[in-house]
Structure 1
Amino acid sequence: MFIRNETFYSFRKNYPVITWLTAIHLILFLWINLSRITGGLIPLGEWILQNGAGVTGAIQFNGEYWRLITPIFLHEGTQHVLFNSISLILFGPALERMLGKGKFIVVYLGAGIIANIATTLLTGFSYSHIGASGSIFGLFGVYLYMVLYRKDLIDAMNARIISVIAILGIVMTFLTPNVNILGHLFGLIAGAALAPAFLKNARPFTVMEVHRRVPDDEIGFNPDRWKKRRILNGRKASRIVGWIFVALVIIGIISSLF
Protein backbone atom coordinates (compact mmCIF):
# COMPACT_ATOMS: atom_id res chain seq x y z
CA MET A 1 0.00 0.00 0.00
CA PHE A 2 2.79 2.40 0.88
CA ILE A 3 5.61 1.39 -1.48
CA ARG A 4 5.76 3.53 -4.62
CA ASN A 5 7.46 2.06 -7.67
CA GLU A 6 5.53 3.74 -10.49
CA THR A 7 6.90 5.92 -13.23
CA PHE A 8 5.83 9.56 -13.11
CA TYR A 9 3.44 8.94 -15.99
CA SER A 10 1.73 5.92 -14.41
CA PHE A 11 1.50 7.64 -11.01
CA ARG A 12 -0.12 10.70 -12.59
CA LYS A 13 -2.56 8.51 -14.50
CA ASN A 14 -3.53 6.26 -11.57
CA TYR A 15 -3.66 8.93 -8.84
CA PRO A 16 -4.73 12.23 -10.42
CA VAL A 17 -6.01 13.81 -7.19
CA ILE A 18 -2.73 13.18 -5.36
CA THR A 19 -0.83 14.53 -8.36
CA TRP A 20 -2.83 17.77 -8.48
CA LEU A 21 -2.69 18.34 -4.71
CA THR A 22 1.09 17.84 -4.69
CA ALA A 23 1.46 20.16 -7.69
CA ILE A 24 -0.56 22.87 -5.91
CA HIS A 25 1.66 22.51 -2.81
CA LEU A 26 4.86 22.93 -4.82
CA ILE A 27 3.61 25.67 -7.16
CA LEU A 28 2.37 27.89 -4.34
CA PHE A 29 5.52 27.21 -2.29
CA LEU A 30 7.78 28.21 -5.19
CA TRP A 31 5.58 31.19 -6.05
CA ILE A 32 5.78 32.59 -2.50
CA ASN A 33 9.51 32.04 -2.08
CA LEU A 34 10.61 33.05 -5.58
CA SER A 35 8.59 36.23 -5.16
CA ARG A 36 10.72 37.02 -2.12
CA ILE A 37 14.00 36.13 -3.81
CA THR A 38 13.26 38.28 -6.86
CA GLY A 39 12.14 41.22 -4.74
CA GLY A 40 8.60 41.10 -6.05
CA LEU A 41 9.39 40.57 -9.74
CA ILE A 42 7.13 37.55 -9.45
CA PRO A 43 4.00 39.26 -8.11
CA LEU A 44 1.48 38.39 -5.39
CA GLY A 45 3.69 36.00 -3.41
CA GLU A 46 3.34 37.86 -0.12
CA TRP A 47 -0.30 38.62 -0.86
CA ILE A 48 -1.05 34.90 -1.24
CA LEU A 49 0.67 34.12 2.06
CA GLN A 50 -0.88 37.00 4.03
CA ASN A 51 -4.41 36.41 2.74
CA GLY A 52 -4.26 32.61 2.79
CA ALA A 53 -2.79 31.92 6.22
CA GLY A 54 -5.09 30.75 8.98
CA VAL A 55 -5.10 33.84 11.20
CA THR A 56 -7.45 33.25 14.14
CA GLY A 57 -8.40 36.90 14.62
CA ALA A 58 -9.15 37.47 10.93
CA ILE A 59 -11.47 34.46 10.92
CA GLN A 60 -13.32 35.25 14.13
CA PHE A 61 -13.55 39.06 13.89
CA ASN A 62 -13.48 39.73 10.13
CA GLY A 63 -15.41 36.69 8.94
CA GLU A 64 -12.60 35.60 6.58
CA TYR A 65 -13.76 32.00 6.60
CA TRP A 66 -11.82 31.07 3.48
CA ARG A 67 -8.82 30.95 5.81
CA LEU A 68 -10.18 27.65 7.13
CA ILE A 69 -9.42 26.11 3.72
CA THR A 70 -6.53 28.02 2.13
CA PRO A 71 -3.86 27.12 4.75
CA ILE A 72 -4.15 23.48 3.63
CA PHE A 73 -2.40 24.38 0.36
CA LEU A 74 0.25 26.81 1.65
CA HIS A 75 3.79 26.10 2.88
CA GLU A 76 6.65 28.42 3.60
CA GLY A 77 9.59 26.25 4.68
CA THR A 78 11.36 23.70 2.47
CA GLN A 79 11.20 20.88 5.01
CA HIS A 80 7.53 21.58 5.65
CA VAL A 81 6.43 21.37 2.03
CA LEU A 82 8.60 18.34 1.30
CA PHE A 83 7.42 16.42 4.38
CA ASN A 84 3.74 17.02 3.62
CA SER A 85 4.07 16.42 -0.12
CA ILE A 86 6.08 13.21 0.28
CA SER A 87 3.65 11.99 2.97
CA LEU A 88 0.76 12.65 0.58
CA ILE A 89 2.53 10.76 -2.23
CA LEU A 90 3.25 7.77 0.03
CA PHE A 91 0.02 7.47 2.01
CA GLY A 92 -2.59 9.07 -0.25
CA PRO A 93 -2.71 6.74 -3.30
CA ALA A 94 -4.22 3.71 -1.56
CA LEU A 95 -7.03 5.83 -0.12
CA GLU A 96 -7.66 7.58 -3.43
CA ARG A 97 -8.24 4.17 -5.03
CA MET A 98 -10.26 2.75 -2.12
CA LEU A 99 -12.52 5.77 -1.63
CA GLY A 100 -12.66 7.14 -5.15
CA LYS A 101 -11.65 10.62 -6.23
CA GLY A 102 -14.66 12.51 -4.87
CA LYS A 103 -14.74 10.89 -1.44
CA PHE A 104 -10.98 11.20 -1.08
CA ILE A 105 -11.11 14.95 -1.72
CA VAL A 106 -13.94 15.34 0.83
CA VAL A 107 -12.04 13.37 3.49
CA TYR A 108 -8.74 15.15 2.80
CA LEU A 109 -10.21 18.65 2.85
CA GLY A 110 -12.73 17.79 5.58
CA ALA A 111 -10.04 16.64 8.00
CA GLY A 112 -7.96 19.75 7.25
CA ILE A 113 -10.91 22.09 7.70
CA ILE A 114 -11.93 20.46 10.99
CA ALA A 115 -8.34 20.74 12.20
CA ASN A 116 -8.31 24.43 11.23
CA ILE A 117 -11.66 25.08 12.96
CA ALA A 118 -10.29 23.54 16.16
CA THR A 119 -7.16 25.66 15.84
CA THR A 120 -9.27 28.80 15.37
CA LEU A 121 -11.44 28.10 18.40
CA LEU A 122 -8.66 27.06 20.77
CA THR A 123 -5.84 29.50 20.03
CA GLY A 124 -5.24 33.21 20.59
CA PHE A 125 -6.41 35.90 18.18
CA SER A 126 -2.92 36.53 16.81
CA TYR A 127 -2.16 32.88 16.08
CA SER A 128 -1.31 32.15 12.42
CA HIS A 129 -0.67 28.82 10.72
CA ILE A 130 -0.28 27.22 7.28
CA GLY A 131 0.29 23.72 5.99
CA ALA A 132 -1.43 20.50 4.93
CA SER A 133 -0.46 18.67 8.12
CA GLY A 134 -4.04 18.54 9.44
CA SER A 135 -5.17 16.82 6.23
CA ILE A 136 -2.17 14.48 6.24
CA PHE A 137 -2.93 13.45 9.81
CA GLY A 138 -6.52 13.01 8.68
CA LEU A 139 -5.31 10.28 6.30
CA PHE A 140 -3.48 8.65 9.20
CA GLY A 141 -6.74 8.80 11.15
CA VAL A 142 -8.57 6.92 8.39
CA TYR A 143 -5.88 4.24 8.35
CA LEU A 144 -5.94 3.90 12.14
CA TYR A 145 -9.69 3.38 11.98
CA MET A 146 -9.04 0.55 9.51
CA VAL A 147 -6.45 -0.96 11.85
CA LEU A 148 -8.91 -0.96 14.75
CA TYR A 149 -12.30 -1.60 13.15
CA ARG A 150 -11.91 -2.54 9.45
CA LYS A 151 -9.19 -5.16 9.42
CA ASP A 152 -10.71 -6.49 6.20
CA LEU A 153 -9.34 -3.42 4.40
CA ILE A 154 -5.72 -3.53 5.56
CA ASP A 155 -3.28 -6.41 5.99
CA ALA A 156 -1.22 -7.00 9.14
CA MET A 157 2.08 -5.70 7.72
CA ASN A 158 0.64 -2.40 6.51
CA ALA A 159 -1.32 -2.07 9.74
CA ARG A 160 1.93 -2.24 11.69
CA ILE A 161 3.59 0.26 9.35
CA ILE A 162 0.84 2.86 9.64
CA SER A 163 0.54 2.38 13.41
CA VAL A 164 4.25 3.03 13.93
CA ILE A 165 4.23 6.04 11.60
CA ALA A 166 1.16 7.55 13.26
CA ILE A 167 2.69 7.13 16.73
CA LEU A 168 5.97 8.67 15.57
CA GLY A 169 4.02 11.52 13.98
CA ILE A 170 2.22 12.25 17.25
CA VAL A 171 5.45 12.10 19.26
CA MET A 172 7.26 14.41 16.82
CA THR A 173 4.31 16.80 16.97
CA PHE A 174 5.16 17.54 20.59
CA LEU A 175 8.93 17.53 20.11
CA THR A 176 9.18 19.74 17.00
CA PRO A 177 9.09 23.51 17.55
CA ASN A 178 6.62 25.82 15.76
CA VAL A 179 4.17 23.02 15.00
CA ASN A 180 0.40 23.42 15.07
CA ILE A 181 -0.20 20.73 17.68
CA LEU A 182 -3.96 21.22 17.68
CA GLY A 183 -4.06 20.93 13.90
CA HIS A 184 -2.22 17.59 13.97
CA LEU A 185 -4.30 16.08 16.77
CA PHE A 186 -7.68 17.24 15.50
CA GLY A 187 -6.77 16.25 11.95
CA LEU A 188 -6.09 12.73 13.20
CA ILE A 189 -9.36 12.68 15.15
CA ALA A 190 -11.29 14.10 12.20
CA GLY A 191 -9.95 11.45 9.82
CA ALA A 192 -10.94 8.67 12.22
CA ALA A 193 -14.39 10.25 12.71
CA LEU A 194 -15.02 10.55 8.95
CA ALA A 195 -13.73 7.06 8.19
CA PRO A 196 -16.82 4.95 9.10
CA ALA A 197 -19.12 6.71 6.63
CA PHE A 198 -16.62 7.00 3.78
CA LEU A 199 -15.22 3.46 4.11
CA LYS A 200 -18.67 1.87 4.06
CA ASN A 201 -18.41 0.46 0.52
CA ALA A 202 -14.62 0.52 0.21
CA ARG A 203 -12.64 -2.46 -1.05
CA PRO A 204 -9.09 -3.41 -0.04
CA PHE A 205 -6.37 -1.74 -2.08
CA THR A 206 -4.40 -4.08 -4.33
CA VAL A 207 -1.60 -3.12 -6.67
CA MET A 208 -2.82 -5.67 -9.23
CA GLU A 209 -6.07 -3.77 -9.72
CA VAL A 210 -4.16 -0.59 -10.43
CA HIS A 211 -1.64 -2.18 -12.79
CA ARG A 212 -3.80 -4.89 -14.38
CA ARG A 213 -2.28 -6.02 -17.67
CA VAL A 214 -4.65 -8.84 -18.65
CA PRO A 215 -8.42 -8.26 -19.11
CA ASP A 216 -10.71 -10.02 -16.62
CA ASP A 217 -12.11 -12.40 -19.23
CA GLU A 218 -8.73 -13.32 -20.73
CA ILE A 219 -6.72 -16.30 -19.54
CA GLY A 220 -3.30 -16.89 -20.93
CA PHE A 221 -0.01 -18.72 -20.41
CA ASN A 222 3.36 -17.21 -21.15
CA PRO A 223 6.38 -19.52 -21.00
CA ASP A 224 8.69 -16.49 -20.58
CA ARG A 225 6.82 -15.17 -17.53
CA TRP A 226 9.74 -15.77 -15.13
CA LYS A 227 12.17 -13.99 -17.41
CA LYS A 228 9.77 -11.06 -17.72
CA ARG A 229 9.27 -10.99 -13.97
CA ARG A 230 13.03 -10.64 -13.43
CA ILE A 231 13.11 -7.82 -15.98
CA LEU A 232 10.15 -6.09 -14.32
CA ASN A 233 11.75 -6.41 -10.87
CA GLY A 234 14.90 -4.84 -12.25
CA ARG A 235 12.88 -2.01 -13.77
CA LYS A 236 11.05 -1.46 -10.48
CA ALA A 237 14.35 -1.24 -8.62
CA SER A 238 15.64 1.22 -11.19
CA ARG A 239 12.51 3.33 -10.82
CA ILE A 240 12.86 3.41 -7.05
CA VAL A 241 16.49 4.50 -7.33
CA GLY A 242 15.45 7.07 -9.93
CA TRP A 243 12.72 8.52 -7.72
CA ILE A 244 15.16 8.75 -4.78
CA PHE A 245 17.77 10.44 -6.96
CA VAL A 246 15.25 12.98 -8.29
CA ALA A 247 14.02 13.71 -4.75
CA LEU A 248 17.56 14.26 -3.48
CA VAL A 249 18.38 16.57 -6.39
CA ILE A 250 15.23 18.62 -5.81
CA ILE A 251 15.88 18.85 -2.07
CA GLY A 252 19.47 19.92 -2.72
CA ILE A 253 18.46 22.61 -5.21
CA ILE A 254 15.69 24.05 -3.06
CA SER A 255 17.82 23.94 0.10
CA SER A 256 20.56 25.91 -1.66
CA LEU A 257 18.03 28.59 -2.57
CA PHE A 258 16.40 29.10 0.82
Structure 2
Amino acid sequence: MSFTRDVEADRIIKGLIAINVVVFVFGLMRQVPNMGGEPVPLPMVYGSYSFEDCFDLGEYWRLITYQFVHADMGHILFNMIALWIFGRAVCSMMGAFRFLLFYLGCGVVGALFSSLLMSQGLCMREELAALSEYIPFWKMIPMVGASGSIYGVIAAAAVMFPYARVALWFPPIEMSVRTFALVVLAVALVVIAMNWNNAGGEAGHLGGMLCGFAVMGIWVLYRKLTWNRR
Protein backbone atom coordinates (compact mmCIF):
# COMPACT_ATOMS: atom_id res chain seq x y z
CA MET A 1 0.00 0.00 0.00
CA SER A 2 1.26 3.46 -0.87
CA PHE A 3 -0.24 6.68 0.50
CA THR A 4 0.72 10.33 0.88
CA ARG A 5 3.19 10.69 3.73
CA ASP A 6 1.63 11.98 6.96
CA VAL A 7 4.27 13.00 9.50
CA GLU A 8 1.90 12.92 12.49
CA ALA A 9 0.53 9.49 11.54
CA ASP A 10 4.06 8.16 11.10
CA ARG A 11 4.98 9.47 14.56
CA ILE A 12 1.97 7.82 16.21
CA ILE A 13 2.56 4.46 14.54
CA LYS A 14 6.28 4.55 15.28
CA GLY A 15 5.44 5.34 18.89
CA LEU A 16 3.12 2.34 19.18
CA ILE A 17 5.69 0.08 17.54
CA ALA A 18 8.41 1.39 19.88
CA ILE A 19 6.31 0.66 22.97
CA ASN A 20 5.63 -2.89 21.77
CA VAL A 21 9.30 -3.51 21.01
CA VAL A 22 10.51 -2.09 24.34
CA VAL A 23 8.02 -4.24 26.27
CA PHE A 24 9.06 -7.32 24.29
CA VAL A 25 12.79 -6.75 24.83
CA PHE A 26 12.20 -6.07 28.53
CA GLY A 27 10.34 -9.38 28.72
CA LEU A 28 13.34 -11.18 27.22
CA MET A 29 15.64 -9.60 29.80
CA ARG A 30 13.40 -9.89 32.85
CA GLN A 31 11.70 -13.21 33.48
CA VAL A 32 10.18 -14.82 36.56
CA PRO A 33 9.35 -18.48 37.26
CA ASN A 34 5.75 -19.62 36.91
CA MET A 35 4.05 -22.20 39.13
CA GLY A 36 5.87 -24.96 37.26
CA GLY A 37 9.23 -23.29 37.66
CA GLU A 38 9.54 -22.30 33.99
CA PRO A 39 10.70 -18.75 33.18
CA VAL A 40 7.97 -16.39 31.97
CA PRO A 41 8.50 -12.80 30.74
CA LEU A 42 7.54 -10.33 33.46
CA PRO A 43 5.25 -8.27 31.17
CA MET A 44 3.27 -11.41 30.43
CA VAL A 45 2.73 -12.05 34.16
CA TYR A 46 1.45 -8.56 34.97
CA GLY A 47 0.22 -7.41 31.56
CA SER A 48 -1.64 -10.33 29.96
CA TYR A 49 -5.43 -10.42 29.90
CA SER A 50 -7.65 -13.10 31.35
CA PHE A 51 -11.23 -12.77 32.53
CA GLU A 52 -10.28 -13.88 36.04
CA ASP A 53 -7.44 -11.38 36.45
CA CYS A 54 -9.38 -8.53 34.90
CA PHE A 55 -12.88 -8.89 36.32
CA ASP A 56 -12.67 -11.31 39.25
CA LEU A 57 -9.52 -9.66 40.67
CA GLY A 58 -10.31 -6.15 39.45
CA GLU A 59 -7.12 -5.67 37.37
CA TYR A 60 -8.88 -3.78 34.60
CA TRP A 61 -5.70 -2.27 33.20
CA ARG A 62 -4.99 -5.62 31.59
CA LEU A 63 -7.53 -4.84 28.86
CA ILE A 64 -5.02 -2.24 27.65
CA THR A 65 -1.67 -3.68 28.68
CA TYR A 66 -2.22 -7.06 27.02
CA GLN A 67 -2.21 -5.27 23.67
CA PHE A 68 1.48 -4.41 24.14
CA VAL A 69 2.67 -7.87 25.23
CA HIS A 70 3.69 -10.52 22.69
CA ALA A 71 4.42 -14.21 23.00
CA ASP A 72 7.43 -14.57 20.67
CA MET A 73 9.42 -12.94 17.88
CA GLY A 74 7.12 -14.11 15.09
CA HIS A 75 4.09 -12.79 16.95
CA ILE A 76 5.43 -9.27 17.40
CA LEU A 77 7.05 -9.15 13.95
CA PHE A 78 3.82 -9.96 12.10
CA ASN A 79 1.79 -7.52 14.20
CA MET A 80 4.21 -4.62 13.86
CA ILE A 81 4.55 -5.07 10.09
CA ALA A 82 0.76 -5.06 9.75
CA LEU A 83 0.50 -2.01 12.02
CA TRP A 84 3.05 -0.13 9.91
CA ILE A 85 1.38 -1.03 6.61
CA PHE A 86 -2.22 -0.33 7.55
CA GLY A 87 -1.94 1.91 10.61
CA ARG A 88 -0.34 4.94 8.97
CA ALA A 89 -3.07 5.22 6.34
CA VAL A 90 -5.92 4.84 8.82
CA CYS A 91 -4.31 7.20 11.34
CA SER A 92 -3.81 9.86 8.68
CA MET A 93 -7.55 9.74 7.94
CA MET A 94 -8.79 9.57 11.53
CA GLY A 95 -6.32 11.86 13.23
CA ALA A 96 -4.03 10.86 16.08
CA PHE A 97 -6.43 11.03 19.03
CA ARG A 98 -9.35 9.26 17.32
CA PHE A 99 -7.01 6.62 15.94
CA LEU A 100 -5.59 5.82 19.37
CA LEU A 101 -9.08 5.49 20.83
CA PHE A 102 -10.12 3.30 17.90
CA TYR A 103 -6.98 1.16 18.12
CA LEU A 104 -7.21 0.52 21.85
CA GLY A 105 -10.99 0.11 21.69
CA CYS A 106 -10.73 -2.66 19.09
CA GLY A 107 -8.23 -4.42 21.35
CA VAL A 108 -10.58 -4.20 24.33
CA VAL A 109 -13.51 -5.54 22.30
CA GLY A 110 -11.32 -8.33 20.94
CA ALA A 111 -10.47 -9.55 24.45
CA LEU A 112 -14.07 -9.34 25.66
CA PHE A 113 -15.37 -11.09 22.54
CA SER A 114 -12.92 -13.95 23.03
CA SER A 115 -14.03 -14.35 26.66
CA LEU A 116 -17.68 -14.25 25.58
CA LEU A 117 -17.24 -17.07 23.06
CA MET A 118 -15.21 -19.18 25.49
CA SER A 119 -17.81 -18.70 28.21
CA GLN A 120 -20.32 -20.26 25.81
CA GLY A 121 -18.14 -23.32 25.31
CA LEU A 122 -16.63 -22.17 22.03
CA CYS A 123 -12.94 -21.75 21.14
CA MET A 124 -11.80 -24.19 23.82
CA ARG A 125 -11.14 -27.91 23.75
CA GLU A 126 -13.25 -30.09 26.04
CA GLU A 127 -10.24 -31.58 27.84
CA LEU A 128 -9.13 -28.07 28.87
CA ALA A 129 -12.58 -27.07 30.06
CA ALA A 130 -12.49 -29.82 32.70
CA LEU A 131 -9.08 -28.93 34.17
CA SER A 132 -10.29 -26.67 36.96
CA GLU A 133 -12.85 -27.85 39.49
CA TYR A 134 -13.53 -24.51 41.16
CA ILE A 135 -12.94 -21.82 38.50
CA PRO A 136 -14.12 -22.23 34.89
CA PHE A 137 -10.92 -22.78 32.91
CA TRP A 138 -11.86 -20.28 30.21
CA LYS A 139 -11.58 -17.51 32.81
CA MET A 140 -7.91 -18.31 33.36
CA ILE A 141 -6.74 -18.52 29.74
CA PRO A 142 -4.28 -15.64 29.16
CA MET A 143 -4.32 -13.49 26.05
CA VAL A 144 -1.54 -11.28 24.73
CA GLY A 145 -0.82 -9.35 21.56
CA ALA A 146 -1.93 -6.39 19.47
CA SER A 147 -3.72 -8.58 16.92
CA GLY A 148 -7.27 -7.60 17.95
CA SER A 149 -6.38 -3.92 17.65
CA ILE A 150 -4.62 -4.43 14.31
CA TYR A 151 -7.46 -6.48 12.85
CA GLY A 152 -9.71 -3.55 13.67
CA VAL A 153 -7.30 -1.27 11.80
CA ILE A 154 -7.36 -3.66 8.82
CA ALA A 155 -11.16 -3.45 8.83
CA ALA A 156 -10.96 0.34 8.83
CA ALA A 157 -8.48 0.29 5.96
CA ALA A 158 -10.80 -2.01 3.99
CA VAL A 159 -13.61 0.55 4.33
CA MET A 160 -11.47 3.63 3.70
CA PHE A 161 -9.25 2.23 0.94
CA PRO A 162 -11.06 -0.85 -0.43
CA TYR A 163 -9.30 -0.88 -3.81
CA ALA A 164 -5.77 -0.11 -2.62
CA ARG A 165 -3.43 -3.02 -3.32
CA VAL A 166 -1.43 -4.95 -0.77
CA ALA A 167 1.34 -7.40 -1.72
CA LEU A 168 1.74 -10.44 0.51
CA TRP A 169 5.09 -12.06 1.17
CA PHE A 170 3.62 -15.52 1.68
CA PRO A 171 1.99 -16.53 -0.48
CA PRO A 172 3.59 -14.00 -2.88
CA ILE A 173 0.37 -12.57 -4.31
CA GLU A 174 -1.26 -9.17 -4.57
CA MET A 175 -4.86 -8.36 -3.68
CA SER A 176 -7.07 -5.43 -2.72
CA VAL A 177 -7.25 -4.38 0.91
CA ARG A 178 -10.95 -5.29 0.95
CA THR A 179 -10.19 -8.81 -0.30
CA PHE A 180 -7.37 -9.17 2.22
CA ALA A 181 -9.70 -8.16 5.06
CA LEU A 182 -12.34 -10.64 3.94
CA VAL A 183 -9.71 -13.42 3.73
CA VAL A 184 -8.43 -12.89 7.28
CA LEU A 185 -12.03 -12.60 8.47
CA ALA A 186 -12.86 -15.94 6.81
CA VAL A 187 -9.78 -17.57 8.36
CA ALA A 188 -10.84 -16.45 11.84
CA LEU A 189 -14.37 -17.75 11.32
CA VAL A 190 -13.16 -21.15 10.08
CA VAL A 191 -10.67 -21.60 12.94
CA ILE A 192 -13.35 -20.72 15.49
CA ALA A 193 -16.02 -22.92 13.86
CA MET A 194 -13.65 -25.91 13.67
CA ASN A 195 -12.21 -25.19 17.14
CA TRP A 196 -8.67 -25.52 15.82
CA ASN A 197 -5.50 -24.51 17.62
CA ASN A 198 -5.58 -20.88 18.88
CA ALA A 199 -9.32 -20.59 18.33
CA GLY A 200 -9.46 -18.29 21.37
CA GLY A 201 -6.87 -16.02 19.81
CA GLU A 202 -8.77 -15.98 16.53
CA ALA A 203 -11.89 -15.02 18.48
CA GLY A 204 -9.96 -11.98 19.70
CA HIS A 205 -9.00 -11.19 16.11
CA LEU A 206 -12.60 -11.55 15.02
CA GLY A 207 -13.86 -9.34 17.84
CA GLY A 208 -11.37 -6.61 16.97
CA MET A 209 -12.27 -6.77 13.29
CA LEU A 210 -16.01 -6.73 13.96
CA CYS A 211 -15.49 -3.69 16.18
CA GLY A 212 -13.54 -2.03 13.37
CA PHE A 213 -16.27 -2.69 10.82
CA ALA A 214 -18.97 -1.51 13.23
CA VAL A 215 -17.21 1.77 13.98
CA MET A 216 -16.53 2.38 10.31
CA GLY A 217 -20.15 1.57 9.48
CA ILE A 218 -21.26 4.28 11.92
CA TRP A 219 -18.69 6.65 10.40
CA VAL A 220 -19.95 6.02 6.86
CA LEU A 221 -23.57 6.48 7.97
CA TYR A 222 -22.67 9.73 9.76
CA ARG A 223 -20.94 11.10 6.67
CA LYS A 224 -23.91 10.24 4.48
CA LEU A 225 -26.35 11.94 6.87
CA THR A 226 -24.26 15.08 7.19
CA TRP A 227 -23.72 15.20 3.42
CA ASN A 228 -27.47 14.93 2.76
CA ARG A 229 -28.12 17.90 5.08
CA ARG A 230 -25.95 20.22 2.98
- The TM-score, its normalising length taken from structure 2, stands at 0.69
The aligned residue for residue 2 of structure 2 is: 3
Give, in whole Å, the separation in 2 of the partners of 1:115 and 1:82: 20
The aligned residue for residue 202 of structure 2 is: 181
Give, in whole Å, the separation in 1 of the partners of 2:90 and 2:105: 14
The aligned residue for residue 131 of structure 1 is: 145
The aligned residue for residue 45 of structure 2 is: 50
1:195 aligns with 2:210: no
Q: Which amino acid aligns with 2:179?
A: V
Unmatched segments (≥5 aa) in structure 1: 38-44, 147-152, 202-258
Give, in whole Å, the separation in 2 of the partners of 1:138 and 1:14: 17
Displacement of 1:3? 3.3
1:154 aligns with 2:141: no
Displacement of 1:154? 3.1
Identity of aligned residues (%): 27
1:141 aligns with 2:152: no
Displacement of 1:181? 1.6
Work out whether residues 162 and 177 of structure 2, in 8 Å CA contact, stay in contact via their aligned partners in 1: no
Q: Which amino acid aligns with 2:144?
A: I
Displacement of 1:187? 0.6
Work out whether residues 99 and 198 of structure 1, in 8 Å CA contact, stay in contact via their aligned partners in 2: no
Q: Return the index of the structure with the highest Cα Rg.
A: 1
Go from structure 1 to structure 2 and tell me whether the alpha carbon gap of 1:134 and 1:64 turns closer, same or farther (over 3 Å shift).
Answer: same
Displacement of 1:83? 0.4
Work out whether residues 103 and 198 of structure 1, in 8 Å CA contact, stay in contact via their aligned partners in 2: no
Work out whether residues 108 and 136 of structure 1, in 8 Å CA contact, stay in contact via their aligned partners in 2: yes
Displacement of 1:177? 3.4
Work out whether residues 163 and 178 of structure 2, in 8 Å CA contact, stay in contact via their aligned partners in 1: no
Unmatched segments (≥5 aa) in structure 2: 33-39, 119-137, 167-174, 224-230
Report matched runs for 1:69-218 at 5 Å.
Answer: 69-123=64-118, 124-144=138-158, 146=159, 153-154=160-161, 156-158=163-165, 161-173=176-188, 174=190, 177-178=197-198, 180-198=201-219
Give, in whole Å, the separation in 1 of the partners of 2:162 and 2:63: 35
Deviation by residue 1:6-45 (Cα, 9 ceiling, x = unmatched): 9xxx8866511101000111111111012249xxxxxxx8
Give, in whole Å, the separation in 1 of the partners of 2:91 and 2:59: 30
Give, in whole Å, the separation in 1 of the partners of 2:164 and 2:156: 17
Give, in whole Å, the separation in 2 of the partners of 1:142 and 1:112: 14
Go from structure 1 to structure 2 and tell me whether the alpha carbon gap of 1:48 and 1:161 turns closer, same or farther (over 3 Å shift).
Answer: same
Displacement of 1:198? 4.7
Paired residue total: 183
Give, in whole Å, the separation in 2 of the partners of 1:194 and 1:18: 20
Displacement of 1:168? 3.2
Work out whether residues 148 and 205 of structure 2, in 8 Å CA contact, stay in contact via their aligned partners in 1: yes
What's the Cα RMSD here? 2.9
Give, in whole Å, the separation in 2 of the partners of 1:95 and 1:115: 19
